[in-house]
Chains A and B, each alone.
Chain A
Amino acid sequence: MTPGGQWVRLGAAQRSDIEFSLDGEPAKARLGDTLLTAILLVRSRLSMTRSTDPHAGFCLMGACQECWVSADERPVRACSTLLAPGMRVVTRRHAAGD
């Protein structure tokens, strides 16, 4: 099994790099990426909580509500939110539980 991100970029992207922080660690993605894209290009899931929970996004259109993360301390849906330079993204919104 390939380690690393679940998703794969297709084609050559002409979009500029963006730096942001992901769960406290520096990370990189591209202008125009949503938070979900940025996270799933480097990870297999959104959050590191219980493995029985669905945590890698699902519907990508704002219906399933499974991709809520925190961006600059605001709760947002990762699939519907564009990454901004310097954004502080935290995938585990709460200390424990969901």
Chain B
Amino acid sequence: MKERVDVDVAIVGGGIAGCCAALRMRRSGLSVCLLEKGAVGSQASGVNFGGVRQQGRDFAELPLSRRSRELWGRLPELVGSDCEFVASGHIKLARSDADVEALDRYAAGAADHGLALELIGRARLRRDYPWLGEHVVGASLAPTDGHANPRLVAPAFGRAARAAGADVREFTRVEEVVRDGDRFRVRAGAIEVASTFLVNAAGAWGGAIAAAFGEPVPIATIAPNMLVTEPLPPLLTRSIGVCGGDIYLRQVPRGNVVFGGGHAWVDLDQERARPLTEISTCAMAEALRIVPALASALVIRSWTGIEGQMPDHLPVIGFSRTTPNLVHAFGFSGHGFQLGPAIGMILDELVREGASESPLDAFDIGRFHNSAQPPHAAGPHNGG
């Protein structure tokens, strides 16, 4: 006996993007049904490093990232919890002269995009961060960047969305999505959702949905290789990254140091992922070089999860090129966590107005096809 649901917007995927969108859309007065095959936030959104970071992004992402940062600061107001967000600042470390030059270049470009970074030379590094390893020769500081607990954020948005009247269905796997006249029909277990708009926020599974609508994309499946220590006394005053991206570390309020680098094993068909010992031991070794005081700390756990990656490491955001009222927001390539709140706003804008105040050209799904067709910038007032 099928349960039938009829809404303005059906969202496939309960990661941070989908949950933020569900909340935002409810506040805009749209009716929303979100379908998530597991528990909300259990894949990329829940297993990532937890960096809330503007620094280091492709410049095309910076406007979205800045928009998102404003929302991160208002998390208690939005979802009733700060989700352990700390504006600790983020330092990106240089381990060579070439790294220093790269940081300089990025900082100059970032300034043009409104992101102010402070370059730190060796002397100040030794003075302000004496706990950094000797081989670190410089850094770039983003003072307003920080980190949060990824386990808490999507669930908090999901809960807020539900409280705002979104129909959030966990453990409800989408089996089929089709266009039905001028609407969408989504079949998911015992429910059938009819909607005017479809939001594809399905993460690593977003490519399958895009393909179902005739616009396949070259999405790869990746998995972060994450580790965590026992609780330690306060040591890391900033969230840490490096030029090259092979290691990143942060210390959570409880005291544990979360760190990671490289890729774990993953199989999308089996929906399984596992940390790899070789990768973990490399990460441990590099973590020790970056923060020598970690020696003798206990590593108590490792984990991973499933993420979608695009060849240019930029997400797919925006209208479908084949189907009216279909909006994509997936393929965040391992760095979608910080963008989540802004994506929610953007998806709401796209659905209600057919356009977003944020620049989305770089994320157009059409970049993977040699199609001359413009995206379907359809809104509720434009049936086509």
B298 at the interface (CB under 8 A from A): yes
Find out whether the CB atom of A73 lies under 8 angstroms from the CB atom of B231: no
Contact of B230 among A70, A95, A98 (CB under 8 A): A98
A94 at the interface (CB under 8 A from B): yes
Specify which chain A residues have a CB less than 8 angstroms from the CB of B234 in the assembled complex: 96-97
CA distance A16 to B233 in the complex (A): 38
What mask results when residues 53 to 95 of chain A are scored 1 for a CB within 8 Å of chain B, else 0? Answer: 0000000000000001010011100000000000000000111
- Binding site secondary structure of chain A: loop
Specify which chain A residues have a CB less than 8 angstroms from the CB of B233 in the assembled complex: 94-97
CA distance A6 to B380 in the complex (A): 74
Chain B nearest CB, measured from A71 CB (Å): 11
Specify which chain B residues have a CB less than 8 angstroms from the CB of A75 in the assembled complex: 296, 298
Chain A nearest CB, measured from B141 CB (Å): 26
Find out whether the CB atom of A68 lies under 8 angstroms from the CB atom of B298: yes
Specify which chain A residues have a CB less than 8 angstroms from the CB of B230 in the assembled complex: 98
Interface size on A, as a range, is 10 to 19
CA distance A75 to B299 in the complex (A): 12
Contact of B296 among A70, A95, A96, A98 (CB under 8 A): A70
Of all chain A residues, which has the CB nearest B230?
Answer: A98
Specify which chain B residues have a CB less than 8 angstroms from the CB of A94 in the assembled complex: 232-233
Find out whether the CB atom of A97 lies under 8 angstroms from the CB atom of B231: yes
B165 at the interface (CB under 8 A from A): no
What mask results when residues 29 to 42 of chain A are scored 1 for a CB within 8 Å of chain B, else 0? Answer: 00000000000000
Specify which chain A residues have a CB less than 8 angstroms from the CB of B231 in the assembled complex: 97-98
Find out whether the CB atom of A97 lies under 8 angstroms from the CB atom of B296: no
Chain B nearest CB, measured from A68 CB (Å): 7
Find out whether the CB atom of A97 lies under 8 angstroms from the CB atom of B298: no
CA distance A68 to B297 in the complex (A): 11
CA distance A70 to B298 in the complex (A): 12
| Candidate in A73, A95, A98 with the most chain B CB atoms within 10 angstroms | A98
B375 at the interface (CB under 8 A from A): no
Chain B nearest CB, measured from A56 CB (Å): 18
B133 at the interface (CB under 8 A from A): no
Of all chain B residues, which has the CB nearest A70?
Answer: B296
B255 at the interface (CB under 8 A from A): yes
CB within 8 Å of A: which B230-248 residues: 230-234
Question: Contacts A94-B233, A97-B255 given: A74-B298 contact, CB under 8 Å?
Answer: no
CA distance A68 to B229 in the complex (A): 14
CA distance A96 to B298 in the complex (A): 16
CA distance A97 to B232 in the complex (A): 7
Chain B nearest CB, measured from A81 CB (Å): 15
CB within 8 Å of A: which B216-235 residues: 230-234
CA distance A70 to B233 in the complex (A): 16
Of all chain B residues, which has the CB nearest A95?
Answer: B233
* Selected A-B contacts with CB under 8 Å, 21 pairs: A68-B298, A70-B296, A73-B296, A74-B296, A75-B296, A75-B298, A93-B296, A94-B232, A94-B233, A95-B233, A96-B233, A96-B234, A97-B231, A97-B232, A97-B233, A97-B234, A97-B255, A98-B230, A98-B231, A98-B232, A98-B255
3 closest cross-chain pairs (CB), A and B: A98-B231, A97-B233, A96-B233
